[in-house]
Amino acid sequence: MPDITTLALFCAATLGLLIVPGPAVLYIVTRSVAQGRGAGIISVLGVHAGSLVHVAAAALGISALLAASATAFTVVKYVGVAYLLWLGVRKLMRKGSTGDTPVELPVQTRRRLFWEGFVVNVLNPKTAIFFLAFLPQFVHPEAGPVGPQILLLGLLWVVLGVASDGAYALLSSALAGRLRGSARARRRLDVGSGLVYLGMAAWLTTEKA
């Protein structure tokens, strides 16, 4: 297993990467602003449940197959793109009342929030490639089997990711309380959410096999 020094370096590098907002953070912040702290936390858990799939895949060598196969990469990428496009268009097309009259926002079920975050992350091939490229940098074959080392590092990454993204969810929900008080604000949040989804879809299309 990796020694304490290696684990400390890994944690420092991971936190350095996690604090920079990426597509997953934008997704979580959008959910937190639109539906509150609970929705943001559930989305965090869904996203990082998806991360566990990629960690397991990296440990088993499946990510290596994905990286080597242009066809597999392309299929997964565009399934993810299609899903994000559908979410974005649905948000942009949603009709809402106008004005500043306070309204009660419709709340999605926790199950739906969780699985939406899970699917968004699982269908992101860049996450698989990231784990394949990043985790082995801290693996030492002389310290034992490579698979368990990758699994340990991946689990550490997920724990740190939950903490980092959870902080984003709490902060964004705390700052967004007033914005959720009117139908006009709700419509703006829907538009913002739709643009985030579409932006994530566009970002995925830039990835090369």
Residue numbers of the domain that contains 50: 23-205
Mean pLDDT of 69-90: 74
The pLDDT value recorded for residue 104 is 43
14 in a structural domain: no
The pLDDT value recorded for residue 209 is 47
pTM of the entire structure?
0.70
15 in a structural domain: no
8 in a structural domain: no
Q: How far apart are CA 117 and CA 49, in angstroms?
A: 8
10 in a structural domain: no
The answer to whether residue 101 scores a pLDDT higher than 60 is no
- Tens of pLDDT, residue by residue over 10-65, are 898 888 778 766 678 878 888 888 788 898 999 999 999 999 999 998 888 756 76
129 in a structural domain: yes
5 in a structural domain: no
The pLDDT value recorded for residue 180 is 54
The pLDDT value recorded for residue 103 is 39
pLDDT band, very low/low/confident/very high, at 98 (cuts 50, 70, 90): very low
Compute the mean pLDDT over every residue in the chain, rounded to the nearest whole number. 77
199 in a structural domain: yes
Q: How many domains does the chain have?
A: 1
The answer to whether residue 178 scores a pLDDT higher than 70 is no
The answer to whether residue 173 scores a pLDDT higher than 90 is no
18 in a structural domain: no
The answer to whether the beta carbons of residues 149 and 58 sit under 8 Å apart is no
